[in-house]
Structure 1
Amino acid sequence: MSLEVIGWVRSDFGLDLTTLEAVTHGADQHARLWLARAANGTRYAVKLSGGGTAAGLAVTAYLAEQGVPGIPAPLRTRDGRLWGERDGCRLTVVPWVSDQRALDGPMTEAHWRSYGEVLASVHAVPVTDELARLLPRGGSAYPRIVAATRAMARRLRGPERSDASAADLAAIWSAAADRVATLTHAVERLAAELRDRPGPAVVCHGDPHLGNLLLGPEGRVWLIDWDDAVLAPPECDLMFVIGGVLAFAPISAEQQEAVLAGYGTADVDRTRLAWFLAIRALDDLSDWTRQALDPGADEAERAFAGRIVRGLVSSDGLVTLADVALRDLDRR
C-alpha cells in the first residue's frame, strides 16, 4: 500500500516521497494517515479519507489565505484542486508541522493563550458564499443524535447480553439514566428556544479539543483535523474551554483564563453553551458505546471505547459537566 500511495502523491501532487509511516492515533474510522518524508527531509501528513465531505479542506485553505495563525494549509494538486481521487477516497497532503500533540503535553501558558488567539482569528474571518454553501449549521444534527441516544438506551435495556462487556455497558448506562434523560429532554427543549434567537454564524472548528491541537516552540500551536467544521455561534467552539471538555478532563481555572486572554472579549450565551455541551455529551456517549459494542472491532478497540464511555459518565466527565451546566441554567 505504501508504494501505491507514494505513486499517487507523485502523480497527483508532483511530490516525490521517500518514506511513509502509518500513524495510528485518531478516532476517524474512515481514514488512513501517514507521516511522509520527501527526499529533502520535508515531512507531510498524507491522508486517505473515505467518509465525510471535503468542506474541511476548503475551510483550512481559506483560513490560511486569510492569514489565520496556526492553520496548516493543504497542498494543491497539479491541476489546482485540494485533493486527489484515489481508491474511492480523497487523497490529501498537508505539511507535518509538529510531532507534539497537546493531548500529550506539556502546554505552557503561552500555548494556552495562542490556542485562544487561533480560535478568535477563526471566528473573525468573513463567511464567504462558498463556506455558507459547504458548511453545515452547528447543532443541526441534534435530532439524529437524540434518536441515536434513545435507540442505544433501548438496546442496552434489552434482554440480550452478548458478553460481559455489553453487560458492563448496560450497567453504566443504567447508573447514568437520569442524567442522560435530562440531557435528551433539554436538547430538544432548548433547540426550540434558541431557534427564536439564533446567534451569529461564524466559522467554527467544531471539535477543537487537545487531540486536534499540536504544539510548537515559543508557545506556537496548530489546530488540525477540520472534518467537523461548521457555521455556528462561537459557543460551539468555546464550550471546549468554558465548558471544560478539552481532553476528557476539566480545564483548570488558570488554563481557561489564559485561553480567554488570548481570545479576547467573549459575550457567552450560557443557554447556547449548555445546549452545545449537551449535544456533544449525547453524541460522544452513544457513538463510543456503539464502538464498544461493535462485533467487527478487535478486543483492544472495544476496550478502549469502553474506557471512554466510563470516563464520559464519571464525576468530571462530559455527561456530568453538561448536566451541571443545564442545572445552573435552571438556577438562574
Structure 2
Amino acid sequence: MLEPPVLPHDLLIAVLQEEWRIDARQLAFLPLGADLNSAVYRVATPNGAIFFLKLRAGPFDEIALAVPKFLSDAGIAQIIPPLPTLSGRLWATSGQFTAILYPFVEGLDGYRVALSDAQWRQFGAAMRRIHSATLPAELQARVPRETFSPRWRDTVRAFLVHVDQQTYPDPIAAQLATFLAEKRSEILELVERADRLGQALRSSPPPVVLCHADLHAGNLLIAEDGNVYIVDWDDPILAPRERDLMAAGSGLMGGWRTADDEERLFYSGYGDALVDPAALMYYRCERIVADIAVYCQQLLLTDEGGEDRPQALRYLMSNFAPGGTIELAMGTVRPGD
C-alpha cells in the first residue's frame, strides 16, 4: 500500500500500549508493497527500540502467523517471527484491521538490492529447511492444501469478456481494458497452458510440502548485516515444492541476474532436488494468471486505490515485457513435454 489508511495514530498507539505494553512515540507509515489490504509502519519508542507494525484489512487467518512462528522456533533463522501480545496471541485488533508486530530489521527488499552469491545460497538453504519441516498434526490440519483450482483462470476469462462489453471512465481502467484486448491471444494461451497442466497435476497429485507460496524479490528482506529473511507468510500452503521452486529463474526476483544464474545459485544452497518441469511451468503460468486476475479486480471493479492504481497497472503490464515472466514461464518446458 502506497498511501496510509484512514486510521488515527492515537488508535494505533493505544493498541500498541494495551496489547504489547509498548510506548510508541513515533509512527512512520512505510509505502511498501502492492497489497491494498496491508499497511506497514515503523514504530519507535523513547528507549530506542524499533518495531515493525503490520495492519491487515479484511479476512485474517491465524495460520499466517502460526506457521512462521513455528518455523522460527524450529531454528530457521531466516524467519522473522511475530511478537506475542501480553495475552500470548500473535495479533491484536485495531478497528477494522488486524495488527501484527515484529522486530524491526533494517534492510532492503530484493527489488532494491541484489542478492550476493552467498545470499542466494542462504535463501536456497532456508527454503530446503522449510520444505523439510514437519508440522505438528494440529498445525498441519489448519494449513490449506493445494487443489489446482481453476478459480483465477476462470476469473481472467471472465474479465476478457467484461472488457469487450464495458466502457471505463477511469483512465487507468480504460488503459488496462485496451491492454487486455491487445494481449488477448497471449493471455488465453497462458490460461489454457495452465489449465492443461493443472488438470494433469490434479489427476496425479505430486507429494506436498509446506510452501510459502508467494516468493518474489519483494518478499526477501536483505538485512544490513547480510542476512536474508523470507517475509510475508500470508498464504502458506501444503503443495508440491515446485510452488516455491518456481521463483528462481521466473523473472520475479528483481532482474539482477539471468534466469540460469538464479537457478544455479539457488540450488547450490537448496541441494539436490527432483524437480518436475511440468509442475514448475504450471506454477509459473498460474502465478501470472492470478496476478492478472487480482489486478483486474483492483482496477476494473473499483476506482479506489489512489497512487496504488498506476503502480498496479505497471506491474501487470511488466509481465508481458521481452524476457519477462510470461516469456520465461512459457519456456520452462517445450510444448508437448
Contact 1:60 1:71 in 2 (8 A): yes
Counterparts of 2:268 and 2:261, CA distance in 1: 11
Does residue 235 of structure 2 align to residue 211 of structure 1? no
Residue 33 of structure 1 corresponds to: 40
User: Which residues of structure 2 form unaligned runs of 5+?
Assistant: 1-7
Counterparts of 1:122 and 1:30, CA distance in 2: 26
Shift of 1:59: 0.7
Q: Give the 3-state SS of the residue equivalent to 2:138 in structure 1.
A: helix
Contact 2:79 2:229 in 1 (8 A): yes
Counting helix residues as a fraction of each chain, which structure ranks higher? 1
Normalization by structure 2: what TM-score?
A: 0.90
Counterparts of 2:170 and 2:49, CA distance in 1: 48
* Match runs of 1:1-332 below 5 Å: 1-51=8-58, 52-138=60-146, 140=147, 142-158=149-165, 160-162=167-169, 165-217=172-224, 219-247=226-254, 251-293=258-300, 295-297=302-304, 300-325=307-332, 328-332=333-337
Q: For the structure 1 residues 164 and 92, does the alpha-carbon distance in structure 2 shift closer, same or farther, using more than 3 Å as the test?
A: closer
Contact 1:206 1:236 in 2 (8 A): yes
Shift of 1:331: 4.5
Shift of 1:175: 3.1
Letter in 1 for 2:120: W
Which structure 1 residue ranges, 4+ long, deviate > 6 Å from structure 2? none
Contact 1:23 1:34 in 2 (8 A): yes
Q: Give the 3-state SS of the residue equivalent to 2:105 in structure 1.
A: coil
Counterparts of 2:42 and 2:290, CA distance in 1: 30
Counterparts of 2:11 and 2:174, CA distance in 1: 43
Shift of 1:61: 0.6
Shift of 1:82: 0.9
Letter in 2 for 1:194: L
Contact 1:127 1:202 in 2 (8 A): no
Contact 1:245 1:251 in 2 (8 A): no
Q: Deviations over 1:53-112 (max 9, x none)?
A: 221101111001110121011111111111112313322111111232221003211121
Q: Give the 3-state SS of the residue equivalent to 1:192 in structure 2.
A: helix
- In the alignment of these two chains, the number of paired residues is 329
Q: For the structure 1 residues 300 and 88, does the alpha-carbon distance in structure 2 shift closer, same or farther, using more than 3 Å as the test?
A: closer
Shift of 1:207: 0.8
Q: For the structure 1 residues 76 and 217, does the alpha-carbon distance in structure 2 shift closer, same or farther, using more than 3 Å as the test?
A: same
Letter in 1 for 2:115: M
How much is the aligned-residue C-alpha RMSD, in angstroms? Answer: 2.2
Q: Deviations over 1:121-145 (max 9, x none)?
A: 111110322332222224x363220
Contact 2:34 2:312 in 1 (8 A): no
Shift of 1:167: 4.2
Contact 2:248 2:259 in 1 (8 A): no
Normalization by structure 1: what TM-score?
A: 0.91
Q: For the structure 1 residues 122 and 136, does the alpha-carbon distance in structure 2 shift closer, same or farther, using more than 3 Å as the test?
A: same
Question: Mean Cα displacement is larger for which, 160-169 or 300-309?
Answer: 160-169
Shift of 1:250: 7.1
Counterparts of 1:245 and 1:122, CA distance in 2: 20
Contact 1:207 1:228 in 2 (8 A): yes
Counterparts of 1:38 and 1:15, CA distance in 2: 7
Shift of 1:163: 5.1
Shift of 1:217: 4.5
Letter in 1 for 2:335: D
Q: Give the 3-state SS of the residue equivalent to 1:32 in structure 2.
A: strand
Counterparts of 2:232 and 2:103, CA distance in 1: 13
Counterparts of 2:309 and 2:301, CA distance in 1: 7
Q: For the structure 1 residues 286 and 125, does the alpha-carbon distance in structure 2 shift closer, same or farther, using more than 3 Å as the test?
A: same
Contact 1:116 1:260 in 2 (8 A): yes
Question: Mean Cα displacement is larger for which, 41-50 or 173-182?
Answer: 173-182
Contact 1:249 1:317 in 2 (8 A): no
Q: Deviations over 1:244-275 (max 9, x none)?
A: 43247874422331111111112111111111
| Percent of residue pairs identical | 28
Q: Deviations over 1:135-174 (max 9, x none)?
A: 2224x36322012101110111225243554443233223
Q: Give the 3-state SS of the residue equivalent to 2:106 in structure 1.
A: coil
